[in-house]
């Protein structure tokens, strides 16, 4: 009996390996490129394992570019856009869930369907007219286009799933709706808030399209900065791979640490930014 199942088991494990290896190999190749010197990166047949590994590419990225500044820009933009989205979106999710405002939820869904680029033309002209170009403000404002719908969408789901009884009890005892929200519903929804925060942060961090249009030399976010490294130094793969790895590393680490929350959020809403 056990022997009969063996081929099936081997086949199953082979298919798991087949599923996982494309993801794994691309990231490993990224790591390999970033740790090799230029001679090895340009070698054919390719050198797979860096020998010896070098950090020269990473040093190069920080020395030749204003990478610290771009990192700081990305941190400010993603944290501010996520923070604002939580302040605005958590109460909104509560209100929409409680009032069963299907139309407001539909509006959020349409925002999810709209291409990010279509917001950019009017906002670009508006920011020019207001004289805001060249600062981080327009980038933060446009990131709200991504973060607010994500937070509202995730929070509607969470507040709908909460039991009503505790809140009703508080209301009967004379609390007002704000107090019921602040002291009852919000603490209960904390796991949802964490999910909303992580997803909103990741999709803001990853966003490229808003930055590429709105950012000036000094206000580039990391993805835009990496793209510009490509256009100016197309031949040197090492620093490029190092820069790419630096940009995406925080997100990958966050995913590894918080995979349960991320999976919960994504399966619930199917949200995606941009």
Residues 205 to 224 in contact with another protein, rule: CB under 8 A: 205-206, 208-209, 212-213, 222-224
Q: Pick from 10, 16, 49, 106: which binds another protein (CB under 8 A)?
A: 16
Residues 117-146 that bind another protein (CB under 8 A): 117-126, 141-142, 144-145
Smallest distance, another protein to C-beta of residue 33, A: 7
263 binds another protein (CB under 8 A): yes
Q: Is position 227 an interface residue for another protein (rule: CB under 8 A)? A: yes
Q: Is the dihedral of CA 151, 154, 158, 159 positive or negative?
A: positive
Q: From residue 5, how far is each of 1, 10, 11, 14, 17 by CA, in Å?
A: 7, 9, 10, 14, 19
Residue 181 binds another protein, judged by CB under 8 A: yes
Can residue 256 be called a binding residue for another protein (CB under 8 A)?
yes
Does 45 bind another protein (CB under 8 A)? Our answer is yes
Q: At what angle do helices 259-269 and 190-206 cross, to 10 degrees?
A: 90
Q: Which two tokens stand for residue 2?
A: 């056990």
In terms of CB distance, is 66 or 116 closer to another protein?
116
Dist. CA 107–CA 112, nearest whole Å: 9
Which class for 219: exposed (0-12), middle (13-18), buried (19 or more C-beta within 10 A)? buried
Q: Does 14 bind another protein (CB under 8 A)?
A: no
CB of 107 or CB of 188, closer to another protein: 107
Max distance between CA atoms of the chain, in angstroms, equals 76
* 11 interacts with another protein by CB under 8 A: no
- 248 interacts with another protein by CB under 8 A: yes
Q: Which of 248, 256, 245 is nearest to 32 (CA)?
A: 245
- Rounded least distance, CB 54 to another protein, Å: 18
Nearer to another protein, 145 or 193 (CB): 145
Q: Return all residues near 171 (Cβ < 8 A) that are at least 6 apart.
A: 177, 180
Judged by CB under 8 A, the stretch of 51-59, 62-70, 189-197, 252-260 that binds another protein is 252-260
| 20 or 55: CB nearest another protein | 20
Taking CB under 8 A as the rule, does residue 12 contact another protein? yes
Among residue numbers 77 through 116, which ones bind another protein (CB under 8 A)?
84, 87-89, 91-92, 94-96, 98-101, 104, 107-108, 110-116
Site for another protein in 51-80 (CB under 8 A): none
Query: Which of 140, 187, 123 minimizes the C-alpha distance to 159?
Result: 187
Stretch that binds another protein, among 56-64, 65-73, 188-196, 234-242 (CB under 8 A): 234-242
Q: List the interface residues with another protein, window 182-201 (CB under 8 A).
A: none
What separation, in Å, do the N-terminal and C-terminal C-alpha atoms of the chain show?
52
Cα distance between residue 140 and residue 80, in whole Å? 7
Q: What angle do CA 187, 189, 190 make, to 5 degrees?
A: 65
| 220 token code pair | 């580039």
């Amino acid at each position: 009996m056990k022997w009969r199942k063996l081929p099936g088991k081997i086949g199953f494990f082979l298919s798991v390996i087949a599923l996982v290896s494309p993801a794994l190999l691309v990231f490993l190749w990224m790591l390999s490129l970033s740790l090799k010197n230029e001679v090895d990166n340009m070698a054919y047949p390719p050198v797979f394992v860096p020998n010896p590994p070098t950090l020269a590419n990473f040093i190069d990225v920080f020395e030749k570019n204003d990478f610290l500044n771009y990192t700081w820009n990305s941190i400010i933009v993603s944290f501010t856009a996520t923070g604002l989205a939580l302040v605005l979106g958590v109460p909104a999710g509560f209100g929409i869930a409680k009032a069963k405002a299907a139309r407001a939820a539909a509006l959020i869904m349409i925002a999810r369907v709209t291409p990010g680029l279509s917001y950019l033309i009017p906002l670009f002209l508006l920011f020019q007219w207001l004289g805001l170009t060249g600062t981080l403000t327009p980038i933060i404002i446009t990131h709200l286009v991504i973060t607010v719908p994500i937070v509202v969408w995730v929070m509607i789901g969470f507040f709908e799933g909460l039991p009503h009884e505790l809140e009703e009890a508080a209301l009967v005892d004379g609390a007002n709706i704000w107090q019921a929200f602040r002291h009852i519903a919000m603490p209960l929804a904390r796991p949802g808030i964490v999910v909303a925060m992580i997803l909103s942060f990741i999709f803001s961090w990853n966003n490229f399209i808003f930055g590429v249009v709105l950012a000036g030399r000094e206000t580039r976010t990391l993805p835009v900065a990496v793209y510009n490294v490509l256009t100016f130094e197309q031949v040197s793969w090492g620093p490029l791979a190092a820069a790419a790895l630096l940009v995406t590393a925080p997100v990958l680490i966050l995913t590894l640490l918080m995979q349960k929350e991320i999976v919960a959020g994504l399966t619930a809403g199917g949200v995606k930014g941009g």
